Structure 1
Amino acid sequence: MSGRFISFEGPDGAGKTSVLNNIRQALINQLGTQVLYTREPGGNQIAEQIRAVLLDKQNTAMDDWTEAFLYAASRRQHVVQTLKPALEAGKLILCDRYLDSSIAYQGGGRNLGVDKIWELNQYAIDGLLPDLTIFLDLPVETGLARIEKGRAETINRLDEQTVNFHRRVRQAYLTLQERFPDRIVKINADQDLNQVIEDVHRAIHARYDDLFTK
């Protein structure tokens, strides 16, 4: 496959959406329609329907392993229907969350086990990992304070978690970054947004210098 695949990860409140919007526009300016933005859970009709079930606030009785399997099912559809065809067509994929989110949130946050969630998702991804993962990291308390300050949207099922849950999520992300330092680049998200964006641009430049004009 001739395309390239960049995923964006981070705990809640890390500013991932703002950073992604900036990076996305910069790459579209350079590459036009060769850039594909997508997200998880979601990315196509079937995967988005699974997303709706996962985030529905009424589904508070959902078993943790049911949640993990639903994320893996959504990911499988995403890989087969969206990601692999885009890579075969030579696209540059920018994906808002991917496998590492399941490992962090279900493996770490839900205490299901990092290795167990990794193993489960091997059937879903069929060997497809990002070429580069941008991990926006910041202290849990800072992220949660940002969310509370800027909250305007309806609270979904996954918003209602304890501080300890979010600490486990962050620790799982840090463990993944230590395991895969060549793929996962950690960016300090506890600084001015413009600086975070600059650091992300620099990380992408270092890996794919040809993506941007000089």
Structure 2
Amino acid sequence: MSKGKFIVVEGMEGAGKSSAIHVIEALLQQHHIEYINTREPGGTPLAETLRTLIKATDHQETITQETELLLMYASRSQLLANRILPALNQGQWVIGDRHDLSSRAYQGGGREFDDEVMESISRVTLQGFKPDLTLYLDLDPEIGLSRAKARGELDRIEQEKIDFFHRVRNKYQDLASKDSTIVTINAEQSMELVHQDIINTVQQFITKQG
């Protein structure tokens, strides 16, 4: 049995990750590829509890940036060990709604943690594991946040100031430019064009798998 592949969809609030994932699901179904979905933070019972702690706005104390960072990686560790790796080893593909790149962008870029700190925590937690393909949906933070606000109430991180999100985007773009497994999709295009870019990218990736 061949090992499965891990495809991740990344991007800021309002980038259209959910609809992108639906597009990928449809394509995998067309190719009769068995898959599961995950999301981060979350994806296992314990990881979902950590997600609630990270995103809640009603804490009686301030969540420090260090706590946020460590909770993100604790959640990711649980998900990797209990869902992602078992599925891949069984030959299933995994579609991830966010992964390590999110922490590099939000905590590394937005919170301005040093690259060496981010690399050290990632190395301990993931031990070199990384997605086979990442689709980064890029758009202006102000456009994304306006879309997110239209969806409903913003979570704790989504309520950060706009400068935070500009740092996040800059880090996303910087990391994507240095990694050939990350494909940047212009999420400011029409939905039809965004979806076509996703289909083209994932179809090419599937074809390469033979």
TM-score using structure 2 length: 0.93
Q: Check the 8 A contact 1:79/1:124 in 2, yes or no.
A: no
Q: Which runs of 5+ in 2 are unaligned?
A: none
Look up the match of 2:166. Answer: 167
Per-residue CA deviation, residues 76-104 of structure 1 (Å, 9 max, x unaligned), is 11111111101100011100000000010
Residue aligning to 1:98: 99
> 1:62-86, CA deviations, whole angstroms, 9 ceiling, x for partnerless residues?
0001100000000111111111101
Following superposition, the deviation at residue 210 of structure 1 comes to 6.8
1:43 aligns with 2:12: no
Amino acid in structure 2 at the alignment position of 1:159: E
Match of 1:192 among 184, 190, 193: 190
**RMSD of aligned alpha carbons:** 1.8
Q: Which amino acid aligns with 2:36?
A: L
SS at 2:76's partner residue? helix
- Matched-pair contact (CA < 8 Å) for 2:36–2:94: yes
Give the 3-state SS of the residue equivalent to 1:31 in structure 2: coil
Give 1:4's aligned residue.
Answer: 5
**Are 2:131 and 1:130 equivalent residues in the alignment?**
yes
How far 1:161 moved relative to its partner? 0.6
> CA-to-partner distance for each residue in 1:32-74, whole Å, 9 max, x for gaps?
6x11111111111111111111111123600001100000000
More off after superposition, 163-172 vs 41-50: 41-50
Q: Give every structure 1 segment of 4 or more consecutive aligned residues whose post-TM-superposition deviation is greater than 3 Å.
A: none
| Aligned AA (2:121) | L
| Counterpart residue number, 2:16 | 15
Contact 2:47 2:79 in 1 (8 A): yes
Superposition pairs of residues 27-106 of structure 1, within 5 angstroms: 27-31=28-32, 34-59=34-59, 61-106=62-107
Instruction: Give the share of equivalent positions with the same residue, in percent.
Output: 34
1:29 to partner: Cα distance: 4.3
SS in 2 for 1:135: strand
CA displacement 1:164-186 (0-9 Å, x = unmatched): 00000000101111221x11000
Partner residue in 2 for 1:183: 181
Residue 130 of structure 1 and its aligned partner are, at CA, apart by 0.3
Q: Any idea what SS the aligned residue of 1:204 has?
A: helix
Over residues 107-146 of structure 1, what are the superposed CA-to-partner deviations in whole Å (9 max), with x where a residue is unaligned? 1101112342132111111221000000000112221222
Q: In the aligned structure 1, how far is the partner of 2:115 from the partner of 2:13? A: 19
Q: How many angstroms apart in 1 are the aligned matches of 2:165 and 2:24?
A: 26
Please tell me whether the aligned partners of residues 39 and 96 of structure 1 are also in contact (alpha carbons under 8 angstroms).
yes
The one-letter amino acid of 2:198's match is V
Once the two structures are TM-superposed, the CA of residue 151 in structure 1 deviates from its matched residue by 2.5
Judge conservation of contact 1:107–1:113 (CA < 8 Å) in 2.
Answer: yes
TM-score scaled by length of structure 1: 0.91
Letter in 1 for 2:159: E
Structure 2 distance, partners of 1:114, 1:11, is: 20
Structure 1 Cα separation of the partners of residues 42 and 16 of structure 2 = 20
> Which residue number corresponds to residue 206 of structure 1?
204
